Amino acid sequence: MAYVAVSGGKEAIEESIKLLDYYKSGSDKDIEIEAIENKLGLLVDRVMSEAGLYSRTYAALALKQCEGSIEEAVFLLRAYRSTLARNYYTDTVNTDDMRVLRRISAAFKDIIGGQILGATYDYTHRLINFTNGESAAELHLAMQKKLAGQEPAEIVSCPRVSTGLKKEGLIDSFPQNDLNPHDVTVNMLEFPADRSARLQTLARADTGFISGLAYSSLRGFGQVHPTVGELRSGYVELCVPYPLSEGESVYIGEIMITEVECFNTADDKDQLKLAVGYGAVFGRNETKAIAMAVVDRELDSGGPHPAQNEEFVLTHGDSLEMNGFISHLKLPHYVTFQSKLDSVRKTRRPADE
């Protein structure tokens, strides 16, 4: 009978929620929201990207509320976002104008605008630092001091690596498409999916799911072995159309994103061309951005493998949907199980009964 007891469900839930506090009571130290925002920045990035809501503070708040569970934090943000009316769509952002903090190309050594290694864990030795005891206050002060003496560099528009290849005709060029995107947060995703719907779905997808799919494609369940043509992360400015005068926009702030273009060879009648896969995510989640670009390309090419199947990829990677449906298995299924039992028993009775 356990927890669906004919009565008592209400009390059980209340007690269960109280008991959650037990797990937070093991230490008398607290974590400030500000600390989560600034010291667990990559975690915050991942939560924002999977939630599809850019708010560092709310992401930190959500993480604190649920003991750092990514799926719970994404859930909290999504549920909150759902209550907000969508008042404006921003103008299309041209990432050429990004305030770049990191920019690399695995395709060319020299690229217009140059490569900037920026901050990355890629070249660190993964050795646990057992002291890990740097003083937050000292670090903060030292960095402030260092920055105070520097002039902010002017932002120069920096064309993407693919732009040159497009001019050469090696990459297909497409006409500018300014149609409104198919917004999957207000419309059901239908198949075959619009590319905007695909990219939005991939950008919000669970990091682990997308990475696993991309990995499967690299290992042979797919045909992509891409070159990272360009990975750039930095800040982009967001503007919304000014309601009172047409053609003008108002700056509302900036967000940090990571953008990736992967190049693959592809058939072009009896010659070859380069095909691009595109990935863009909130924050500094580089693996997800690359994986997204790989999967985007796989979906373009199509084929028999999981990563090439649009419906398979786009319907199974949403954190909320997958975790919700898996966890619903914990709900009582007494009625349905009783029915299954009935079916099983009926097949086991002698036929003449």
Residue 270 C-beta: closest distance to other proteins, Å: 6
Residue 89 C-beta: closest distance to other proteins, Å: 15
**Which residue, 1 or 127, is less far from other proteins as judged by CB?**
1
**Which residue, 258 or 319, is less far from other proteins as judged by CB?**
319
**Of 177, 169, 194, 162, residue with least CA distance to 262:** 162
Give the integer Cα–Cα distance in Å for 7 and 72. 28
Give the integer Cα–Cα distance in Å for 136 and 75. 30
Residue 266 C-beta: closest distance to other proteins, Å: 17
Residue 267 C-beta: closest distance to other proteins, Å: 12
Residue 67 C-beta: closest distance to other proteins, Å: 17
CA angle 68–72–75, rounded 5-degree value:
140
**Which residue, 82 or 131, is less far from other proteins as judged by CB?**
82
CB atoms within 10 A of CB 120: 13
| Placement of tokens 């992360």 in the chain | 233
Hey, what amino acid is at 115?
A: Q
Query: 118-127: long-range contacts (C-beta < 8 A, 24 or more apart)?
Result: 118/233, 120/286
Residue 216 C-beta: closest distance to other proteins, Å: 18
**Which residue, 38 or 309, is less far from other proteins as judged by CB?**
309
Give the integer Cα–Cα distance in Å for 49 and 193. 21
**Which residue, 164 or 208, is less far from other proteins as judged by CB?**
208
Indicate the pairing of strand 271-282 with strand 249-268: antiparallel
Residue 235 C-beta: closest distance to other proteins, Å: 28
**Which residue, 134 or 267, is less far from other proteins as judged by CB?**
267
Mark 233-249 as b/e (b = at least 16 C-beta within 10 Å): bbbbbbbeeeeeeeeee
The number of angstroms, rounded, from the C-alpha of 333 to the middle of its chain's C-alpha atoms is 33
**Which residue, 163 or 309, is less far from other proteins as judged by CB?**
309
Interface residue list for other proteins (CB under 8 A): 1, 3-10, 12-13, 75-76, 78-79, 81-85, 185-192, 269-270, 311, 315, 320-321, 323-328, 331-336, 338-344, 346-347, 351
